[in-house]
Chains A and B, each alone.
Chain A
Amino acid sequence: MSRLFWTRALRHRSFVVGGVLVALLVAAALLSFVWTPHPAGEIDVPNKLKPPSATHWLGTDSLGRDIVSQLIVGARYSIAVGLIAVGIGIAAGVALGLLAAARRGWVEELVMRLSDFAIAFPALLTAIMLSAIYGPGLATSIVAIGIFNIPEFARITRASANGVWAREFVLAARACGKGAWRITLEHVLPNIASVLIVQATIRFAIAILAEAALSYLGLGTQPPTPSWGRMLNEGQTMMYQAPLLAMWPGLAIVFTVLGLNLMGDGLRDLLDPRLARQR
């Protein structure tokens, strides 16, 4: 990206605030690979339900596990689920959207009807179906959220790509004898990349919320893997003894999602000025 972009970006308040929050999340997740204040899964029953202190910055849970360590290792899984689920959405959704825009006719109609149809199966319903057969787990939640992302990316790709196909430079490329496949790769895709980046940021936030909900319900990440959703579930059962337990993972989710949404808003303003003006 150009220097001009970064100069503008650093002056954009939403982008900066969102960027800082997301950078903190990524830094915490990366840090967890080399260092955590305590081993995340280490059970220490004599020190259970301790309030925040110098040893345990945010206290300990009902099994004496360190909250900070679980939160930063949990960040790793939130990011992983978000990245893979959005990756599935982009890989399949963008391909379908580009195909629909390039072929038009019945192919476009079929892709759009399939996208409309997919609304009937939110991530939660898909996760429920998969859990009933294959049992709950990280893979179940990734697949469910990933499938849920496909129609969203297909729809937005097709709409943006149709706009590019109507432009004169594409007509010129066709006149030069370029085929649909080459035009899609050389002209359409680079021109819709900014829209896709904005969408990916927003879908990442939605994926993190969905993963937390599925883990809370017991359909996502399974013990002993730390996850924010499951920490909330465990915190809820300890609400009378240690109300703060249900506070920290919730705040971690809110700051992450807020960061990604603000960054998405900022990117939309910076990468697509037309959309920004419409708001």
Chain B
Amino acid sequence: MGHDIDATRHRRIPAIALFLVKRFATFVITLLAASLVVFAVLDLLPGNVAQVMLGESATPEAVAALTSKLGLDQPAWQRYGHWLQGLATLQLGDSYSYSAPVTELIAQRLVVTVPLALMAMVLTTTIALVVGIYAASHHNRAGDIGVMAVSQVGIAIPNFWFAILLVHLFAVKLGWISAGDFAGWTEEEGGGLWDGLRSLLLPSISLAVVQAAILARFTRSAVLDVLREDFVRTARAKGLGTRAVLWRHVLRNAFVPVLTVMGLQFATLVTGTIVVEQVFSLPGLGRLIFQAISNRDVVLVQNIVMLLAAVVIAINFVVDVLYAVIDPRLKLHAA
């Protein structure tokens, strides 16, 4: 018996390793495909990017000068190769409108956008799991019906409108916080850790509430699905209490489908930060991308879009890997 288990385990490890290698290969191919799309839309389709950046009224001499400066006179495949090389080495050249290195500009903004997305995700998960599990364990009772009704409204609320309402309540009416802007993470910037977190609290709440409503409903239905399984009935028949069944058996199994939705939601939150940063005037990636659009800085837009697409692809990759590691059924299937 012990020998059988060992043998199965030995077979499983390469199966999972094979899955991971395959999934990593898909991840790399997807990244390359995304870079091709971004390059095609922002470099090939417009014809001459220099003309787009300078506008219709630009003189041919100015267009020719920028064309040569940006290397747009090189063949497309060469430009694409050059850009890929830049992405790999993080040498993306200078921004046309800021006259500063693109990598540096993006890195400066990530210190706002990344903590915002992470805070929003932590809040989303905490609210959704607590509320979803509560609703499922009170199925068809007042608490459950209340949660379902509130979450139905929550799903319908645009996050940027909720953000505006929060600004109105906490900044305009109560005057507890300033209506926007970011205090900074260090004292030299005029802020500190606490001030930085405080600046991101309302934006992360406005992002989290809508996503939590979606995730809470999903968690509830995932928990209810597991509660209907035979092994739960067996556990109850063994004499285990409701709480013990819930914590020991149900949640572990319900977590697998919930994780997939969480991954998708994290990707949504990353792009959602772009919108919410506008409401709170936060100096994150969102503000940079809109300034880049209004300055027609196509090179900067191209690199930020690529970064965001890469983050979404990477999140999906990580979720798939976690899924394979956590889900016992997937392991058996792979074996």
Residues of chain A whose beta carbon lies under 8 Å from any beta carbon of chain B:
116-117, 119-122, 124-125, 128-133, 136, 205, 209, 212-213, 216-219, 232, 235-236, 239-240, 243, 246, 249-250, 253-255, 257-258, 261-262, 278-279
CB-contact partner of A239 in B42, B168, B298, under 8 A: B168
B267 neighbours in A (Cβ, 8 Å): 119, 122
B157 beta carbon closer than 8 Å to chain A: yes
- Decide: A212 near B158, CB < 8 A? Known: A125-B309, A130-B41, A254-B153: yes
The 9 closest A-B pairs by CB, nearest first: A250-B161, A257-B156, A258-B156, A132-B301, A120-B309, A133-B46, A129-B41, A254-B156, A120-B313
| Bound CA span A121–B313, Å | 9
Q: How far is the CB of B215 from chain A (nearest CB, A)?
A: 16
- Cross-chain contact B157 with A254 (CB below 8 angstroms): yes
- Cross-chain contact A124 with B158 (CB below 8 angstroms): no
B157 neighbours in A (Cβ, 8 Å): 250, 254
B225 neighbours in A (Cβ, 8 Å): 278
B275 nearest CB neighbor, chain A only: A213
B165 neighbours in A (Cβ, 8 Å): 246, 250
B271 neighbours in A (Cβ, 8 Å): 122, 124-125
| Bound CA span A232–B293, Å | 21
B164 neighbours in A (Cβ, 8 Å): 232, 235-236, 239, 246, 250
- Cross-chain contact B316 with A133 (CB below 8 angstroms): no
| Bound CA span A141–B184, Å | 34
B310 neighbours in A (Cβ, 8 Å): 120
- Decide: A121 near B293, CB < 8 A? Known: A133-B42, A133-B45, A213-B160: no
- Cross-chain contact B316 with A119 (CB below 8 angstroms): yes
Q: How far is the CB of A196 from chain B (nearest CB, A)?
A: 21
- Cross-chain contact B274 with A121 (CB below 8 angstroms): no
B296 neighbours in A (Cβ, 8 Å): 132
A255 neighbours in B (Cβ, 8 Å): 156
B289 nearest CB neighbor, chain A only: A128
Interface of B is mostly: helix
| Bound CA span A116–B165, Å | 35
B34 neighbours in A (Cβ, 8 Å): 117, 120-121
Q: How far is the CB of B272 from chain A (nearest CB, A)?
A: 8
For the A-B complex, the count of residue pairs with Cβ-Cβ distances under 8 Å equals 119
The digit string for B291-332, where 1 denotes a CB below 8 A from any CB of A, is: 011001010010001001110110010000000000000000
Q: How far is the CB of A240 from chain B (nearest CB, A)?
A: 6
A21 nearest CB neighbor, chain B only: B156
- Decide: A124 near B274, CB < 8 A? Known: A133-B46, A232-B164: yes
CB-contact partner of A205 in B156, B172, B289, B301, under 8 A: B156
The digit string for B158-195, where 1 denotes a CB below 8 A from any CB of A, is: 10110011011000100000010000000000000000
| Bound CA span A235–B309, Å | 31
- Decide: A243 near B156, CB < 8 A? Known: A122-B268, A130-B41, A279-B221: no
CB-contacts of B33-75 with A (<8 A) = 33-34, 37-38, 41-42, 45-46, 52
- Cross-chain contact B308 with A132 (CB below 8 angstroms): no
- Cross-chain contact A217 with B156 (CB below 8 angstroms): no
| Bound CA span A99–B127, Å | 41
- Cross-chain contact A232 with B268 (CB below 8 angstroms): no
Q: How far is the CB of A259 from chain B (nearest CB, A)?
A: 8
Can you list 22 A-B contacts with CB-CB less than 8 angstroms, sorted by A residue number?
A116-B316, A117-B30, A119-B312, A120-B313, A124-B275, A125-B305, A125-B308, A128-B289, A129-B301, A131-B293, A133-B52, A218-B290, A239-B168, A239-B179, A240-B172, A246-B165, A250-B165, A254-B156, A254-B157, A257-B155, A257-B156, A278-B225
| Bound CA span A212–B38, Å | 24
CB-contact partner of B168 in A209, A246, A249, under 8 A: A246
Given contacts A239-B172, A246-B165, A254-B157, 13 further A-B contacts (CB under 8 A): A116-B316, A117-B34, A120-B30, A120-B310, A129-B41, A132-B293, A132-B301, A216-B160, A217-B278, A232-B158, A236-B279, A239-B168, A239-B179
A265 nearest CB neighbor, chain B only: B152
The digit string for B1-44, where 1 denotes a CB below 8 A from any CB of A, is: 00000000000000000000000000000100110011001100
Q: How far is the CB of A144 from chain B (nearest CB, A)?
A: 11
Q: How far is the CB of A250 from chain B (nearest CB, A)?
A: 4
A131 neighbours in B (Cβ, 8 Å): 293
Q: How far is the CB of A55 from chain B (nearest CB, A)?
A: 26
- Cross-chain contact B42 with A132 (CB below 8 angstroms): yes
| Bound CA span A70–B56, Å | 33
